[in-house]
Amino acid sequence: MTSSKVRYLIFFQYFGTKYSGVMKTPTHQNILGVQNYLEEAVRKLRPANEVSVSVSSRTDSGVHALCNSAHVDIQRKSGKPPFTERLLVDALNYHLKPEPISILKAYRVADDFHARYRALSRTYVYRIITGARHYSQLPVFERSLCWAVHENHLNVTALQEAAKLLLGTHDFSTFRSLNSETPFKSPIKTLLQAEVCSGVGSFSQHPFHRHMQYWDLTFRSRSFLYKQVRRMTGALVAVGQGRLSPSEVKDLLEVRDSLAYPQNMMAPPDGLFLQKVEYEETDLFPEAMETDLT
DSSP assigned state of 187: -
- The answer to whether the CB of 225 falls within 8 A of the CB of 172 is yes
Length of the chain, in residues = 294
- The answer to whether the CB of 73 falls within 8 A of the CB of 52 is yes
CA–CA separation, 2 and 231 (whole Å): 49
Q: CA 157: distance to chain centroid?
A: 26
- The answer to whether the CB of 190 falls within 8 A of the CB of 222 is yes
First vs last C-alpha separation in the chain: 33
**Residue type for 15, please?**
F
Beta bridge mates, 14 = 65, 101
Bridge-based pairing of strands 64-74 and 272-278 is parallel
Q: CA 204: distance to chain centroid?
A: 24
226 is in an annotated binding site: no
Q: Which residues contact 133 (CB under 8 A, 6 or more apart)?
A: 150
Bridge-based pairing of strands 53-55 and 64-74 is antiparallel
Catalytic residue chosen out of the listed positions 60, 90, 257, 283? 60
Q: How many helices (H) and strands (E) does the chain have?
A: 7, 10
Active site residue 251: no
Beta bridge mates, 264 = none
Helix, strand, coil % in the chain, rounded to nearest 5: 30, 25, 45
Binding-site entries for substrate = 124
Active site residues: 60
Q: Indicate the annotated binding residues.
A: 124
